[in-house]
Structure 1
Amino acid sequence: MTSLVMSRMTEYVPVLNDTDYLSRSILQTTELPNAFTWEEQNGINYLTKNLNQHIPSYCGSCWAHGSVSALADRIKIMRKAQFPDINLSVQFLLNCQFGGSCMGGDHLAAYKAIHDYGKIPFEDCMIYQACSSDSKEKACANTNDFICEPINICRTCDTFSSHGGKCVPINYYPNATISKFGAVKGADNMKTEILENGPIACGINAAEIDNYHGGVLDVPKAKKMINHIISIVGWGYDVNIDKQYWIIRNSWGSYWGELGFMRLVLGENQLGIEKTCAWAIPGSWTEYNVPCNEDGSNCT
C-alpha cells in the first residue's frame, strides 16, 4: 500500500451510525430512467462549481466538500438555477470541526452539525484555506485562525494592516439552512433520492481512482473500504459495455479525471459506493440581506 493511500485512510472518519438515519424507500426499477444527471436538464446545468480540497495545502476535507457541494447543488435546483449561484463555506465546517477536520470526517455528521447549528454561511464569508486547528501543515500554524469563534465564521478586513487596518467578525451574514437530513444506500434508493431532490454525498474507496484518466471505471474486485467522500450527481448508460454508471464529482480540482468528474459502474457496489451515502434537504437561504458597510460595521 502506498503512503498516499495510507494517508487517505483517515479522510472518512465515521461519527454517526448511518443506519440510524436510513429513511428512503425503494421505487420500482421500471420507474427510474436509464440515465439522468443534474449536469443537464432541459439545457440547464444545476451543478455548482468544482472544488479542490488540496489547495493551498493538503487537507483531508473530502467529507466537507462532498456534503457541501451536494447541498449547494440542491439549493440551485430549488432556485431553478437562478443567478448567482449560492456557494457555501467548507472552511466554516473545518473551523468549527462540525463533522470533522483536515484529519478526516463524516459527511452525514456534517449535515447533522449544520442542521443543529442552524445555518452555514455563504462561501464569501469564510473562504477555503485547507486548514483546521489540528493540521500540521505550515500554512495552518496560526491555530487561532481555525477555531470556532465569530471571526472565523464570517469576517472582513477593512484595509492594509500597514495603514492600521483590522479584521472583524460579521455578526449578520447570508446563510443557508437544512430542514432535514438522512442516509441512503443501495442503487435504486440512491437513484430515487438523486432524481427527487438532487446530488448526494457518498463514501468510496479511493485507491483505484488516484490515477483515473477517464472512461467508465469497472473494478469489481477492488477494495470497498470507505476512505474518501465524493458526490454523485446522476447516472448514465454505456452501450459499449452494456452497463449503467454513476456520474461522480470529486474534490480534487478540474485537472483530475474528466474535468473533476468520473464514471463508475453502477449496481455492483464497486469501491463501496452504494453503502455509505447521505442527503440533506435545504430549508432556507438568504435571497435579500440588510447590507453591512464595507468595513463590516452596521451589521444587524
Structure 2
Amino acid sequence: MTINLLNAFARGLLWLVFATGSFSVTGIATTSVFPLHSELIDDGHVKGDYTKPLPYSYIRPSDLPETFHWDNVLTKERNGDDKGRSYLTRLLNQHIPQYCGSCWAHAAISTLQDRIKIFRQGAEEINLSIQYILNCGRSAGSCHGGSILKTYQFIKEESGFIPFETCQPYLACSFDSDEGFCPHVDTSCTPFNTCRTCDTFEENGGTCREIDIMPNATVAEYGVYDRDDFEHLEDFIHAVKAEIFARGPIGAVLNGHGLANYTGGIYDDPTQPTNHTHAVSISGWGTDPQSGKEYWIVRNSWGAYWGELGFFRIRMGTNILGIEEKCAWATPGSFTTVNYPCDEDGGNCGPVTKTYLDPSDDVTIVMKRLRLYQVGDL
C-alpha cells in the first residue's frame, strides 16, 4: 500500500477521505495545474458528537437573507458605502513550503478559528496549528489526505486541544511525505513537536525546548450534514445556510478537477464529476443580479493568487462538483485569552481561558443578526 501511495503521489494525485478507516488510490492524474484524484470512503459510524439544537431547527428558510458572507457582515455601526466587517481568519496555501494534500486539515481548522473570531466579535484572530494535526492527528489524515470530521473527533476525543500556530508553524510535512525537506523533518507526536521555542543561535549556546503550558483551543461539539439525511436537496441547503448564518463557516468536500482552471465568476459546469477529491470551507452565499442564479461563496486553501483572491463562487442547488452532499462543522469549547508565564519558583503558571457561547444556546444573538438583514440595511 505504501509503494502504491508513493507512486500515485509521484504522478501528482491527491487523496481525500471525509471520515475513513482504510483507503486505496486509483485512476490517472490529469494535466491541470492542480491534478486531483481520489475516492471517498464510507463515513461509517462517524456522524458527530452533539446535543445542542441545530440552527435549521430555529431558523426558517424564509428568514435567511438573499446574500450573506462572513467576510462582509452588516453591523449597526456600518454607514455610507463602507464594507461590512470581516470575521474570517487569514487565507493560507496548503502547498507551501512544498506540496501537501492537507486540504482537509485547512478546511477543518480554518472554520474552527473563524467561529472563535465570530464569537470574539472580530477581535484579534486566533490562528490554530495545522501542523500539530499533521504531527499528532494521524487518525485524521496526513499530507496524503484525510478527514474534516475526524480532525474534530481527534481534537475532542483524543488530544483534547489544539495549540495556537505560534507553537508549531505549518511545514506542509507529515510522517508519510517525502516532498521537499520533509524527509529531514521530525513530525512525530511529542511534546517538543506540539509546542516549542528556541532562545538564541546555536553558536551562542542556544537551545530549543518544549513548552508545556501553551495557549490552545478545544472542540465542544461536531457533526455533519449529510444530503442522504434530508428528503429534498433544498432542505439540505437550508440546513447548511442556517448553520453558516448562525455559527460560522462550514467544511465541505467536492471534486477538485473543475477548479484547476478556475479564473473567476460563478462556476457552473454540470458535466464535471462529483466524487470528492478536495476539501474547502463555505463562508457564505449570494445571488447573481443578472442571471438570478444562487451561489455558494467558498474559501480554498491554494493561496490568494488563485481564483478570486483565494475564494471561488459555485452555483447552488444543482450539486455542482458534488459540493452539496456532505458538510462538517464544529463548535469551539474554550480558547486561551491570557497565558501567564511561570515564575522562577514554578508558581503563577497556567493560562486563562474563555468558554465559547454556542448561538444555539442563546438564539437571541442569531435573531438580532437576522433582523439587521431583514430591515434591508445593505
- TM-score, with structure 2 as normaliser: 0.73
Aligned to 1:233: 283
147-156 or 13-22: bigger deviation: 13-22
Aligned to 1:109: 150
Task: Give, in angstroms, the shift of residue 33 of structure 1.
Answer: 1.6
Q: Which amino acid aligns with 2:176?
A: D
Aligned to 1:250: 300
Change (3 A) 1:272 1:153: same
Match of 1:10 among 15, 26, 35: 15
Secondary structure, aligned partner of 1:146: coil
Residue by residue over 1:85-125, the C-alpha shift from the partner in whole angstroms, topping out at 9 and shown as x without a partner, is 10110000000125100010000000111111211001111
Residue by residue over 1:115-145, the C-alpha shift from the partner in whole angstroms, topping out at 9 and shown as x without a partner, is 11211001111000000011011311135x2
Match of 2:335 among 285, 293, 297: 285
Aligned to 2:269: 219
1:87 and 2:127 matched: yes
Distance across 1 between alignment mates of 2:201 and 2:271: 56
207-216 or 134-143: bigger deviation: 134-143
Change (3 A) 1:171 1:98: farther
Aligned to 1:153: 194
Q: Which amino acid aligns with 1:281?
A: T
39-48 or 256-265: bigger deviation: 39-48
Match of 1:171 among 186, 209, 212: 212
Distance across 2 between alignment mates of 1:160 and 1:243: 57
Secondary structure, aligned partner of 1:195: helix
Match of 1:44 among 80, 85, 89: 85
2:18 and 2:148 in contact (8 A); partners too: no
Match of 2:182 among 134, 140, 145: 140
Task: Give, in angstroms, the shift of residue 215 of structure 1.
Answer: 0.5
Task: Give, in angstroms, the shift of residue 211 of structure 1.
Answer: 1.3
Give 5+ residue unaligned stretches, structure 1: none
Bigger RCO (CA 8 Å, 6+ sep): 1
Q: Which amino acid aligns with 1:160?
A: F
Distance across 2 between alignment mates of 1:189 and 1:159: 51
Distance across 2 between alignment mates of 1:22 and 1:173: 26
Aligned length: 293
Change (3 A) 1:13 1:178: closer
Give the % identical residues.
47
Change (3 A) 1:57 1:178: same
Task: Give, in angstroms, the shift of residue 13 of structure 1.
Answer: 5.5
Change (3 A) 1:19 1:190: farther
1:34 and 2:61 matched: no
Which of 1 and 2 has greater Rg? 2
Task: Give, in angstroms, the shift of residue 17 of structure 1.
Answer: 3.2
* Structure 1 residue ranges (4+ consecutive) displaced by more than 6 angstroms after TM superposition: none
1:70 and 1:199 in contact (8 A); partners too: yes
Give 5+ residue unaligned stretches, structure 2: 1-7, 21-42, 75-83, 227-235, 351-378
1:246 and 1:264 in contact (8 A); partners too: yes
Secondary structure, aligned partner of 1:286: strand
Q: Give the alignment's Cα RMSD to 1 decimal.
A: 2.2
Residue by residue over 1:123-177, the C-alpha shift from the partner in whole angstroms, topping out at 9 and shown as x without a partner, is 111000000011011311135x201100001010111122222111100100011
Residue by residue over 1:224-268, the C-alpha shift from the partner in whole angstroms, topping out at 9 and shown as x without a partner, is 100100000000110222111000000000000000000000111
Q: Which amino acid aligns with 2:181?
A: A
Distance across 2 between alignment mates of 1:269 and 1:174: 39
2:112 and 2:330 in contact (8 A); partners too: yes
Q: Which amino acid aligns with 2:107?
A: G
Aligned to 2:103: 62
